[in-house]
Amino acid sequence: MKRMAVIHMLSLSIFFVLLFTFNLTCCEVKKFPLLMPNVYPARPDLYICTPVRIVDDKTFYIVGFEPNATMHVAHHMLLFGCGHPGSNKEIWDCGEMSAADSYSTLKKAPPCRDGNHVLYAWARNAKSLTLPDDVGFQVGKGTGIQYLVLQVHYTKPFPEGQTDNSGLFLMYTEEPQSKLAGVLLLGVGGIIPPKSQTYMETACEIEENKVIHPFAYRTHTHTLGRVVSGYRVTRDETGEDHWSLLGKRDPLTPQMFYPIFDSTPIKYGDRLAARCTMDSSNRNRYTQVGPTNNDEMCNFYIMYYVKNDTPLTRKYCTTVGPPYYRWALDKENDLNNIPDEEASTLD
Ligand code: CU
Ligand code: CU
């Protein structure tokens, strides 16, 4: 009797130990602070990046983000997933700034050297995105994401001696998630002529046999963007294209992820399209696509999840842009019923 009790106790304790380690190593949702290491923003409009390396023998699922922007000094924060970070320093200057700017004492580099997926965006004065239930970003082993890089935009220089540790708390688990998140970037290259209104357009077909569930979108341009719109284009049996608006906004509003307008699943054979309406009426020079504030960008991000599947292999949907590419000239995607007016007007 006594012996039984001992065995029972023993097995019970083994059970607890197992449960305990299982919880600790596997499926518990943990919190990782990805914060600026007490940085001192010495000049206005400084973008600082800091990286974290993901251990290479494990796969993690990021299931939530908790912004920790102290004292409201951060204008925006972006989280990038990269193959390699832009720099091997603890912090670097990762702004889209004029090349002539020699002010900074920090090394200049882009957030990512390769990879470059925007996983999360936070902007002051805007409500932050929460991932839908059971949705996670897969990072680490078996993914292209070996590093996470946090970018914080500081608008004002700090008083001497004052530092900041704004950043994000990443909620993560090792438990595989049934819905994996991905981001598809619709982007446009090209040149914008002076004193004009220019459309920058892109379109591409989903050529992977997956069903993707879009849930958020983000727009990005520099200074010339007035309207950015994105669409799913489906063709009916009669050959007519139906354009459903996924998102549209003034890109000068905070550049975060916003809820998608239409969450109808996107399937094999559907096409995606985006347009940026650029206004250079006050500019006397040509503007190229590039990373600095003298250049422009035209980006429409679609954040989505797939059920019991891996995200799209395709991460980008890009065209050469103006003056060579236009929706109307796209023979490959053969678009009809182009919503010319709707795509360029804000409601
Ligand atoms: Cu900002
Ligand atoms: Cu840009």
Span 148-156, mean pLDDT?
A: 93
Amino acid 1: pLDDT = 45
DSSP conformation letters of 207-262: -SS--BEEEEEEEE-SSSEEEEEEEEEEE-TTS-EEEEEEEEE-TTS----EE-S-
Tally of structural domains, the chain: 2
The Cβ-side half-sphere exposure at 337, using a 13 Å CA radius, reads 13
Predicted confidence band of residue 11 (pLDDT cuts 50, 70, 90): low
Computed on alpha carbons and rounded to an integer, the radius of gyration of the chain in Å comes to 23
Domain of 75, in residue numbers: 3-177
Last residue of a domain, one of 177, 194, 225: 177
pLDDT (mean) for 177-181: 96
CA of 76 to the centre of ligand 1 (A): 4
* Cα–Cα distance, 77 to 124 (Å, whole number): 9
How confident is the model at residue 123, as a pLDDT?
Answer: 84
pLDDT tens for each residue of 31-45: 999 999 999 998 888
Q: Which one, of 228, 227, 149, lies nearest residue 185 by Cα?
A: 228
Query: 302: which 2 tokens?
Result: 């679609």
Selection from 52, 159, 36, 167 nearest residue 106 by Cα: 36
Whether 114 and 84 have beta carbons less than 8 Å apart is answered as: yes
The closest of 106, 138, 79, 118 to 315, measured between CA atoms, is 118
Q: Alpha-carbon torsion 264, 266, 270, 275, what sign?
A: positive
For position 3, what pLDDT does the model report?
A: 54
227 and 171 in a common domain: no
For residue range 95-106, list pLDDT tens digits in order. 865 454 555 678
Residues 171 and 24 reside in one and the same domain: yes
Domain edge (last residue) among 177, 203, 233:
177
β-partners of residue 122 are 77
At 307, which CATH number? Answer: 2.60.120.230
* Claim to verify: residue 46 and residue 145 sit in the same structural domain: yes
What single-letter amino acid sits at 59? T
Residues 244 and 134 in one domain: no
Question: Out of 153, 200, 213, 303, which one is annotated catalytic?
Answer: 153
**304 vs 47, 76, 130, CA distance in Å?**
27, 22, 13
* Strand-pair partners of 219: 300
For β-strands 147-154 and 46-53, DSSP reports them as antiparallel
User: Does the pLDDT value for residue 183 go beyond 60?
Assistant: yes
In this prediction, residue 347 has a pLDDT band, given cuts at 50, 70 and 90, of confident
Boundary of a domain, candidates 156, 177, 198: 177
Report whether 314 contacts 185 (CB < 8 A): no
Residue 316 has pLDDT above 50, yes or no: yes
Whether 220 is a known active-site residue: answer yes
CA dist., res. 209 & res. 207, Å (int): 7
State how beta strands 258-259 and 191-192 pair.
Answer: unpaired
Q: Write down the pLDDT at residue 2.
A: 52
242 and 132 share a domain? no
Shared domain for 198 and 163, answered yes or no, is: no
Q: How confident is the model at residue 127 (pLDDT cuts 50, 70, 90)?
A: confident
For residue 19, the model assigns a pLDDT of 46
Helix H, strand E, coil C: the string for 279-305 is ECCCCCCCEEECCCCCCECCEEEEEEE
Whether residues 194 and 156 fall in one domain: no
pLDDT of residue 22: 47
Model pTM score:
0.86
Over pLDDT 90: what percentage of the chain?
73
Q: With bands split at pLDDT 50, 70 and 90, how would you rate the model's confidence at 217?
A: very high
Considering the domain architecture, whether residues 169 and 194 belong to the same structural domain is answered as no
Average pLDDT rounded to a whole number, residues 140-150: 94
pLDDT tens digits along 47-86: 999 999 999 899 999 999 988 877 578 888 999 999 999 9
Q: Does one domain contain both 151 and 192?
A: no
- Assess whether 8 carries a catalytic annotation: no
Asked whether residue 164 falls in the same domain as residue 286, the answer is no
Residues 116 and 239 in one domain: no
Q: Inform me whether the pLDDT recorded for 209 exceeds 50.
A: yes
| Same domain? 270 vs 309 | yes
For position 114, what pLDDT does the model report?
A: 86
Query: How close is the Cα of 95 to the center of ligand 2, in Å?
Result: 9
Residues with CB under 5 A from ligand 2 (ion): 96, 297
Q: What is the mean pLDDT of the chain?
A: 89
Ligand 1 centroid – CA 313 distance (Å)? 30
Q: How far apart are alpha carbons 202 and 245 in whole angstroms?
A: 15
SS3 for 10?
helix
Q: Which helix (H) or strand (E) holds 137?
A: strand 135-140
- C-alpha 218 – ligand 1 centre gap (Å): 14
Of residues 123 and 164, which shows the higher confidence score? 164
Tokens of 28: 């518990």
CATH code, domain carrying 51: 2.60.120.310
For the four alpha carbons of 93, 99, 105 and 108, in that order, the dihedral sign comes to positive
Give catalytic status of residue 222 as yes or no.
yes
For residue 75, indicate whether it is catalytic: yes
